Structure 1
Amino acid sequence: MQTLTIACIGEAMLEISEDPKDPGHLDRHAAGDALFTALYLARLLKGQARVMFVTQVGDDTQTKTMIESWRQAGLDVSMVHQVPDGMTGRYAVETDEDGSRHCSFWPGSDPFRDFFRNETTLSWLDRLRRVDLLYFSGATLAALHQEGRETLMSLAARVRAADGKVAFDGSFRPGKWEHADIAADWVGQAYKRSDIALPTYDDDSELAILESGGVMLNRFLLMGCSEVVIKREAEPYFVACDGERHIVEAGYLPEMMQTPSTCDSFNAGYLAARLVGWGGRQAALLGHEVADRVNEGGGSFLAPGAISDLRPRDLRALGQHPVDFFQQRP
């Protein structure tokens, strides 16, 4: 079958934090919710999809090393724009004893903010409107200038008009937005332009978007989304897909601290399965499997092959339902 094309748009930053295994040593690595989702999608759909990470970064030495690592991980980086003499955004992380993370951002180092303000990136819009799946998040919107947010909303509408799908995760980051009311407005607009809504209960409830139970699902379906997954940490997830509704138990233990990339990796697992013909419940189960692996690995990007056994079989041309391999696993 024809290779799928996926575009994940978002900010990539350099995270600086103390290595928990080596106190006093600073660990530096790329971070970003759309980036993590893109990386796991590329792993899960190896040979079945071309996954493009779409962003704007600096051209410093560390950034060039990051981009090469993305390429080696299987991402298409042809739409990574480097700003001459620019520096990729950076932030430092301090972690409390209870596991809470506190971020301090370097001022003035946010090249992604002006992503849709140069001829190079604007010239990519025609290619982007023809993708099979466009993925972005509330963090993507928060990082953009208002003009860029408007351009992204227009792109989402064009993707859907061309029979592509749009997936959106509200991913609310209070410190990145001008005001909560502005965030609520843009996040609401994005959901209305999406086919697949992937809200996280705690994030979106802060914006007064979510309520409880089936009311949550109804709200997103009435916005125009054709499928919804409401992520609720260790609580059961709510799924509405293909005219059916499911309550899917999370794999995470209540005492297990979720890592920053838990939701991003879940999204990758869910979307990968849906793109190759799996049903909503099975896709959510695969999302949990991927997120569990990431949690067990401490949240860092897993080594090559770590989730190769979870790659979903492509069922689009077979007219079959996915085998419930979760029931067959020990």
Structure 2
Amino acid sequence: MKNIFLFGECMIELMTASNDATSNMLKQSFAGDVFNTAVYLKRTFPHVKVRLVTAVGKDNFSLDMIKYFESENIDTDLVFQSESKIPGLYSIQLDDQGERSFTYWRENSAARTVMDFIDESATDILTSGDMFFFSGISLAVIQPEARASFWQKLVQLKTAGVKIVFDPNYRARMWKDKEETIQAYEQAFKLADIALPGVEDFDSLYGINSVEGVIDFCQSYGISELVVKNGPASVITILDGEKELHQVTPVKTVVDTTSAGDSFNGVYLGARLADASIAESVDKASKAAGFVIQHKGAIAPKALFNDFVQQL
């Protein structure tokens, strides 16, 4: 059985359920970019062992969160529990085109302290994986003083033969400034075997607004498998120097784009762990993302998504 670890944060999600002149009802659930990726990977490829690496608290929200992980068949042996911290929280507002804006409360979230729990015993477990996935949000969440330890752990994993997977997923508000982000991302790109960048993120961070520019940047780090997400229209991949263009059929009705990239990542990585070709992996991932953005919230209804998977 293939084995992937996903390192990041799960948060309490609040989304408007109804909004009129007399009431504003909110629906509560759980989400976060790396957790979303884990859910869609496991739902689509149940034979892959999916293990979340994060920290939560011991409050009722945290206990419910762990139960939710388990209900999605995600392993929780590396979900640590802080004595004093609780999960972060965010709310989503959607516009008429399904584009979202967020408000966050995460400064004191337990996930920021996750590196305090990654001792040698946990590292030994991590070295048993086939892949280790993290994102730019994962890096931004952990305490800055813990990043040096994080890089040391990644070197250990890479030396042990674990494939390191990085999605830049840049969120400017989470970083002190661009210089801090660029320094962290340089380390991530140096260690990555697989990178999943989007042109939009590169434009915001580096001023690189073309696919070719992103490819040139990433290839300078010797990344062996590169998947460039060029908005809703296409995906460009490079595997060991061989470049492919994959056309994507845009979805006509977009309800909520919250988890488009996360669902793509999860299904793509699951397909690759299942030994699917690059073209097949992109096709499945693009279709999954197209399905997800037709539903509200980061996590599409389980029964509906499972029915969709049967058609992939």
Q: Secondary structure at the match of 1:19?
A: strand
| 1:214 Cα offset (Å) | 3.2
The CA deviation string for residues 220-262 of structure 1, in whole angstroms up to 9 with x for no partner, is: 1221210111112212111112442111112323773651110
Question: After alignment, is 302-311 or 228-237 more displaced?
Answer: 302-311
Change (3 A) 1:122 1:106: farther
Q: In 1, Cα distance between the equivalents of 2:204 and 2:272?
A: 28
1:279 to 256, 277, 280: 277
- Which residue pairs with 1:169 in the alignment? 167
2:36–2:262 CA contact under 8 A, matched in 1: yes
Q: TM-score with structure 2 length normalisation?
A: 0.90
* Structure-2 change in CA distance of 1:77 and 1:229 (3 Å): same
**Secondary structure class of the residue paired with 2:302:** coil
SS in structure 2 at match of 1:126 = helix
Distance 2:119 2:301 in 1: 31
Q: Could you say which residue in structure 2 is the equivalent of 1:53? A: 52
Q: Is the 8 A contact 2:54 2:111 kept in 1?
A: yes
What is the RMSD of the two structures over their aligned residues, measured on CA atoms?
2.4
Provide the C-alpha distance between the structure 1 equivalents of 2:280 and 2:18, rounded to a whole number of angstroms. 35
Structure 2: runs of 5 or more not aligned: none
Specify which structure has the bigger relative contact order, considering alpha-carbon pairs within 8 angstroms and separated by 6 or more residues: 2
- Deviation string 1:30-54 (CA, Å, 9 cap, x unpaired) is 12100000111111221x2210011
Q: How does 1:99-248 map to 2 (within 5 A)?
A: 99-106=98-105, 108-118=107-117, 123-208=121-206, 210-248=208-246
> Given the superposition, is the C-alpha separation of residues 107 and 171 from structure 1 closer, same or farther in structure 2, using an over 3 Å criterion?
closer
Match of 1:12 among 5, 10, 13: 10
Partner of 2:27: 27
Mean CA deviation greater in 87-96 or 303-312: 303-312
Q: Which residue of 2 aligns with 1:315?
A: none
Tell me the alpha carbon deviations over residues 244-293 of structure 1, each in whole angstroms, 9 at most, x when there is no partner: 21111123237736511100000111111111111212211111011112
Farther off after superposition, 101-110 or 83-92: 101-110
C-alpha contact (below 8 Å) 1:138/1:187 kept by paired residues: yes
- Structure-2 residue corresponding to 1:88: 87
Tell me the SS of whatever aligns to 2:50. Answer: strand
Structure 1 position 78, deviation (Å): 1.1
Tell me whether 1:62 sits opposite 2:77 in the alignment. no
Q: Distance between the aligned counterparts of 2:164 and 2:92, measured in 1?
A: 31
Q: Match of 1:25, SS?
A: strand
Which amino acid in 1 is paired with 2:80? H
| 1:144–1:8 distance in 2 versus 1, CA, 3 Å | same
Code of the residue aligned with 1:26 in structure 2: it is L
Mean Cα deviation higher: 11-20 or 186-195: 11-20
SS where residue 157 of structure 1 aligns?
A: helix
> In 2, Cα distance between the equivalents of 1:258 and 1:302?
10
1:316: which partner in 2? none
- Three-state SS of the structure 1 residue aligned to 2:137 is helix
1:69-113 CA-to-partner distances (Å, cap 9, x unmatched) read 110111001111111242211123333455443333336432211
Residues 221 and 227 in structure 1, CA contact (< 8 A), matched pair in contact too: no
The one-letter code of the counterpart of 2:266 is A
Classify the secondary structure of the residue corresponding to 1:259.
coil
Q: In 1, are the aligned partners of 2:39 and 2:72 still within 8 Å (CA)?
A: yes
Task: Decide whether aligned partners of structure 1 residues 245 and 257 sit closer, same or farther in structure 2, where only a CA change above 3 A counts.
Answer: farther
* Structure 2 Cα separation of the partners of residues 122 and 147 of structure 1: 19
Take 2:64 and 2:119, find their aligned partners in 1: how far apart are those partners?
Answer: 21
Q: Which amino acid aligns with 1:186?
A: A
Cα displacement string for residues 153-172 of structure 1 (whole angstroms, at most 9, x for unaligned residues): 22222222111211110000
Whether the aligned pair in 2 keeps the contact of 1:93 and 1:103 (CA below 8 Å) is: yes
Q: Deviations over 1:273-323 (max 9, x none)?
A: 1111112122111110111121122344233354446769xxxxxxxxxxx
Residue type matched to 1:90 in 2?
L
Name the amino acid aligned to 1:73. E
Count of paired positions: 310
Letter in 2 for 1:78: D
Residues 119-149 of structure 1: CA deviation (Å, up to 9, x unaligned)? x656412211231000000000000112322
- Structure 1, unaligned runs of 5 or more: 313-324
